[in-house]
Amino acid sequence: MKERIEIGLMGLGVVGGGVENALREKAADIAKQVGAPLAVKRILVRDPSKKRTCQVQPHLLTTDPQHILSDPEIDIVVEVIGGESPAYDYIKESISRGKHVVTANKEVIAKHGFELLNLAAQHQVALLYEASAGGGIPLIGPLRHDLLANKISAIHAIINGTTNYILTKMALEDIDFTTALREAQELGYAEADPASDVEGIDAAYKLVILAALAFQTQVLLGDVYHEGISRLAARDFRYAKELGYTVKLLAIAKREDNTFQVRVHPTFIPDDLLLAKVNGVFNAVQIDGDLTGRILFYGQGAGAAPTSSAILADAIRVAQNINQGLSQIPQVRLGQTMTARPISEIETRYYLRMTVADRPGVLAQITRILGELLISISSVIQKGVDERAQSAEIVIMTHPAQERAMQQAISQMEKLDVVKEISNLVRVED
Amino acid sequence: MKERIEIGLMGLGVVGGGVENALREKAADIAKQVGAPLAVKRILVRDPSKKRTCQVQPHLLTTDPQHILSDPEIDIVVEVIGGESPAYDYIKESISRGKHVVTANKEVIAKHGFELLNLAAQHQVALLYEASAGGGIPLIGPLRHDLLANKISAIHAIINGTTNYILTKMALEDIDFTTALREAQELGYAEADPASDVEGIDAAYKLVILAALAFQTQVLLGDVYHEGISRLAARDFRYAKELGYTVKLLAIAKREDNTFQVRVHPTFIPDDLLLAKVNGVFNAVQIDGDLTGRILFYGQGAGAAPTSSAILADAIRVAQNINQGLSQIPQVRLGQTMTARPISEIETRYYLRMTVADRPGVLAQITRILGELLISISSVIQKGVDERAQSAEIVIMTHPAQERAMQQAISQMEKLDVVKEISNLVRVED
């Protein structure tokens, strides 16, 4: 039983400030749950003279990581610097020096989680990362503990608030991507350089983390196919609505026998799915387990306070175990040897929007290509004719088809004289 | 490190059969997560000769609880008998004999949880009860661990599948309560004696369990105000829809300073709330935390497989700890001394439907009563006139008002000659 459990906090940005603040304000409640005070002993910052909104005591600040890494009194390192470097090195060194680590770092966990978890097991310390996916929504905890008896067949997740905000705007206000993005930037929901969010990279990191736990196997970032939302147009949302669908950027992980697929892309999902009703910056993760059936977790996936909730929960968990003399927290054993299926091998339904010449026989040429590649069509709708350009817009919904075949069809159709543009191809999950 | 962790299973009904089945079929996966086999050594049943669907080995069955309670090799007792007696006695004796207990028993935990958790702490064993509320939805785990840093201000839960099925039917098919109940009974979603579900007693048990963890205080079953759904008529659903609301049986827990309120009753909730879109037998629990903001958990709240998921998760957790030499699992410290507020002291908005005489001055009499009791009206709608009976139906929506004042108003209005019937009073949560 330790008298006091000491934290070394690395990073004092938005999230770090939130953690420091919550630890201070909730000190009495946390001490009661842990059985001993849990306090920040040192804080690593880049610039100690920077003006900060949080009321941190100046003598806690340091610019030297060794003031945390080499301090034997520090039991838990909380890493909220973000980004791969130098956070990865600090986490690794903390573990090697026998310190427990709590991190919010999706990039480090997605890229190096497997190695770091093994290192932590070797050094008998905990490496917890609830805050790395889904902010304040309990996801890692439930996957590590509460759902452990399930064989999970699929995850469908809205796991990036920025893109969900943009897509919600586009759907409700009938506006185009660039307009919605600009509004999101003005409100601070999207960064000046929005690539990581908009291109699905942020979602890919989180998907790697969730899929590895769900399937109990190593998942590599390179296994994830990702496609952003910038090609979506206002009319895609209108057509989706007519067809009974909502457009979401989904992070999808599916298990089939001894293989899995992981992909992030705009997706048509049925309107009546609870997931379709998740709007704005909110996140939601839908999990299909063999015992639980379908469950869903919903909440705020980002922000200082929600992220602090996850970090503090992890820190309390570690501190409770330190206080009971247990050094190691049971980790999910990533024992399976499953292989990733590339996107070309998936089978799904497709929404295809294209502009074609407005003359007889065009549809015959297009449907022939699809037919020859065994892609069967569930509906074709001509959406509008531009008489001046002598062109028409058509929307095709397919039955389940192979991605490889679909891509071949696209490239063959692009070569047709009568096809002016393949405007969009969106995968459908029913 | 034990070679084998032994379970004594008490009860082999629908849930018990599901647990036995899942433990057998998933033995290899579970052993990998635990680090040792986790197997059922003995099963307590009432009638060993009963024909069963699960393929249990007959020599495991016993009718004598002492074959489990007195067996030193049994580490974990899994209690799925249900009901207060004799389950309560078996759980108590198991704990006293140093056995860990996993239970799905909402009645025992709601009535005796505080005492049993203290007994478990004293004997350094675990008492886990994830399956007692919300079936396969992780709720207890998140409240015990992942949300521990939050000050939770409110829980709004659809926590009884039977009533949610009936209410969904009534809303979608414009049918009355008795018709919807009969259909639910025919489909096996409601029992022959539906009182516990329909009167909100089942929901009250679960609310006690969730509120105690959320507020970290002792909550008594007697603290819960409960009111069933049988007074709801098809027209209440129609009027709710017109007003932008959905009718749900909600289990509500709210914290205010050092007091809390716990209540189960039909509730109008805004249509656009995610909770309003939870249909059929599904459950959902919405939690407001100071750090997380609003989160929601959704899934199947009953059934053999979902309940087994929760029980197995608890059993795995205990087994992992046994295997690491840790006897006790950190419990939420129920340290707060909070007092329950009776229903008469709550303040909420109300929907009031009544039949009155169709003649001038009636509304003046009614609004005078409300006004004198400081209940202000947000809208009054006359819904229909029965010319033969010379009566009219009116619907009143109030601004937030005191329950005590509202009940006084009702009893005063009932005495008016012009009031033929107070048909329904439904609380509104915005």
One domain, residues B144 and B288: yes
pLDDT range class, residue B387, cuts 50, 70, 90: confident
Using alpha carbons, select from A340, A339, A318 the residue that is nearest to residue A327: A318
Secondary structure E strands in A80-228: 100-103, 127-128, 152-158, 224-226
Shortest CA gap B300–chain A (Å): 7
- With CA atoms as reference, the chain A residue closest to B30 would be A149
Cβ burial, residue B361 (10 Å; 0-12/13-18/19+): exposed
Residue A387, pLDDT above cutoff 90: no
- With CA atoms as reference, the chain A residue closest to B26 would be A149
Quick: pLDDT tens for A243-262.
Answer: 999 999 999 999 999 999 99
Write down which residue in A267, A300, A333 finishes a domain.
A300
A331 within some domain: no
pLDDT range class, residue A384, cuts 50, 70, 90: confident
Q: Is A278 on the interface with B (CB under 8 A)?
A: yes
CB contact under 8 A, A309 and B149: yes
pTM above 0.90, yes or no: yes
One domain, residues A288 and A376: no
A328 within some domain: no
B229 within some domain: yes
One domain, residues A151 and A255: yes
- With CA atoms as reference, the chain B residue closest to A288 would be B299
Residue A70, pLDDT above cutoff 70: yes
| Residues 384-403, chain B, touching A (beta carbon < 8 A) | none
pLDDT range class, residue A344, cuts 50, 70, 90: very high
Residue A234, pLDDT above cutoff 70: yes
Write down which residue in B261, B292, B323 finishes a domain.
B323
Average of per-residue pLDDT values in chain B: 95
CB contact under 8 A, B147 and A313: yes
Tell me whether strands B377-386 and B127-128 are parallel, antiparallel or unpaired.
unpaired
Tell me whether strands B391-398 and B347-357 are parallel, antiparallel or unpaired.
antiparallel
Tell me whether strands A100-103 and A127-128 are parallel, antiparallel or unpaired.
parallel
Chain B CB contacts of A309 under 8 Å are 147, 149-150, 289, 291-292
Q: Which of B292, B328, B332 sits opposite A324 (nearest CB)?
A: B328
B89 within some domain: yes
Phi, psi of B101 (to 5 degrees): -125, 135
Query: Annotated active-site positions of A, please?
Result: 206
Specify the range with the lowest mean pLDDT, choosing from A375-389, A413-427, B255-269.
A375-389
Residue A403, helix vs strand vs coil: helix
Q: Which two tokens stand for residue A194?
A: 């929005």
Q: What is the CATH number of the domain that holds A105?
A: 3.40.50.720
Does residue A213 contact residue A141 with C-beta atoms inside 8 Å? Answer: no
DSSP annotation of A143 reads: I
- Residue positions counted in chain A: 430
pLDDT of A323 reads 86
Sheet-wide strand order for A5-10: A61-62, A38-44, A5-10, A74-79, A100-103, A127-128
Shortest CA gap A150–chain B (Å): 7
Residue A397, pLDDT above cutoff 60: yes
Residue B327, pLDDT above cutoff 70: no
One domain, residues B122 and B206: no
- With CA atoms as reference, the chain B residue closest to A330 would be B320
- Which whole number is the average pLDDT over A121-139? 96
CB contact under 8 A, B292 and A313: no
One domain, residues B213 and B319: no
pLDDT of B332 reads 65
Cα separation, B416 vs B408, in Å, equals 13
Q: Chain A to chain B, count of Cβ pairs less than 8 Å apart?
A: 176
Shortest CA gap B82–chain A (Å): 20
Query: Has B206 been annotated as catalytic?
Result: yes
Q: Which two tokens stand for residue B193?
A: 């004696």
Q: What is the CATH number of the domain that holds B226?
A: 3.30.360.10
Does residue B76 contact residue B69 with C-beta atoms inside 8 Å? Answer: no
- With CA atoms as reference, the chain A residue closest to B27 would be A149
Substitution target from A148, A152, A314, A333 for chain B, most B beta carbons within 10 A: A148
Q: Which amino acid is at A289?
A: G
One domain, residues B168 and B200: yes
CB contact under 8 A, A293 and B299: yes
One domain, residues A108 and A60: yes
Distances B402 to A65, B227, B347, B354, B399 between C-alpha atoms, Å: 57, 18, 4, 19, 10
Substitution target from B295, B308, B311 for chain A, most A beta carbons within 10 A: B295
One domain, residues B278 and B407: no
Q: Domain residues for B372?
A: 344-428
Residue B328, pLDDT above cutoff 70: no
Does residue A211 contact residue A262 with C-beta atoms inside 8 Å? Answer: yes
Shortest CA gap A162–chain B (Å): 17
CB contact under 8 A, A137 and B33: no
- With CA atoms as reference, the chain B residue closest to A308 would be B291
Chain B CB contacts of A298 under 8 Å are 274, 295-298
B215 within some domain: yes
pLDDT of B351 reads 98
pLDDT of B246 reads 98
Range list of H helices, A272-343: 304-323
Q: Is A243 on the interface with B (CB under 8 A)?
A: no
Q: Is A148 on the interface with B (CB under 8 A)?
A: yes
Tell me whether strands B152-158 and B282-289 are parallel, antiparallel or unpaired.
antiparallel
CB contact under 8 A, A278 and B274: yes
Chain A CB contacts of B294 under 8 Å are 299-300
Chain A CB contacts of B22 under 8 Å are 149, 291
- List, as one string, the DSSP characters of B396-418: EEEPSEEHHHHHHHHHHHHTSTT
Shortest CA gap B419–chain A (Å): 42
Distances A240 to A271, A346, B161, B267 between C-alpha atoms, Å: 9, 22, 32, 33
CB contact under 8 A, B305 and A290: yes
pLDDT of B325 reads 75
Substitution target from B137, B144, B146, B331 for chain A, most A beta carbons within 10 A: B146
How many Cβ atoms sit within 10 Å of the Cβ of residue B293? 18
CB contact under 8 A, A316 and B32: no
pLDDT of A329 reads 65
Rounded (5°) CA angle A305-A310-A315: 115
Residue A1, pLDDT above cutoff 70: no
* Tally of CA atoms within 13 A in the half-sphere of A180 that contains its CB: 24
Substitution target from A285, A292, A300 for chain B, most B beta carbons within 10 A: A292
One domain, residues A167 and A256: yes
ipTM confidence score? 0.96
pLDDT range class, residue A53, cuts 50, 70, 90: confident
| Residues 87-106, chain A, touching B (beta carbon < 8 A) | none
- Which whole number is the average pLDDT over B187-199? 94
One domain, residues A171 and A319: no
Residue A299, helix vs strand vs coil: strand
CB contact under 8 A, A33 and B291: no
Q: Which of B291, B292, B330 sits opposite A320 (nearest CB)?
A: B330
Quick: pLDDT tens for B12-69.
Answer: 999 999 999 999 999 999 999 999 999 999 999 999 988 887 788 899 999 999 999 9
Quick: pLDDT tens for B342-378.
Answer: 999 999 999 999 999 998 899 999 999 999 999 999 9
Rounded (5°) CA angle B368-B373-B377: 65
What is the domain count for chain A?
3
Chain B CB contacts of A308 under 8 Å are 149, 291
Residue B3, pLDDT above cutoff 90: no
- With CA atoms as reference, the chain B residue closest to A33 would be B333
Chain A CB contacts of B325 under 8 Å are 326
Q: Which of B278, B298, B321 sits opposite A295 (nearest CB)?
A: B298
Write down which residue in B273, B289, B323 finishes a domain.
B323
A235 within some domain: yes
| Residues 325-364, chain A, touching B (beta carbon < 8 A) | 325-326, 328, 330, 332-333, 335
| Residues 295-324, chain A, touching B (beta carbon < 8 A) | 295-300, 303, 305-306, 308-310, 312-313, 316-317, 320-321, 324
Chain B CB contacts of A22 under 8 Å are 149, 291
pLDDT range class, residue B282, cuts 50, 70, 90: very high
Chain B CB contacts of A325 under 8 Å are 326
* Tally of CA atoms within 13 A in the half-sphere of B147 that contains its CB: 31
Q: What is the CATH number of the domain that holds A404?
A: 3.30.70.260
Quick: pLDDT tens for B98-157.
Answer: 999 999 999 999 999 999 999 999 999 999 999 999 999 999 999 999 999 999 999 999
Residue B1, pLDDT above cutoff 70: no
Q: Which of B146, B295, B308 sits opposite A291 (nearest CB)?
A: B308
CB contact under 8 A, A293 and B312: no
Phi, psi of B339 (to 5 degrees): -110, 150
Chain A CB contacts of B300 under 8 Å are 292-295
Of B206, B248, B254, B420, the active-site residue reads B206
B317 within some domain: yes
A339 within some domain: no
One domain, residues A282 and A151: yes
One domain, residues B144 and B113: no
Cα separation, B84 vs B108, in Å, equals 5
pLDDT of A67 reads 98
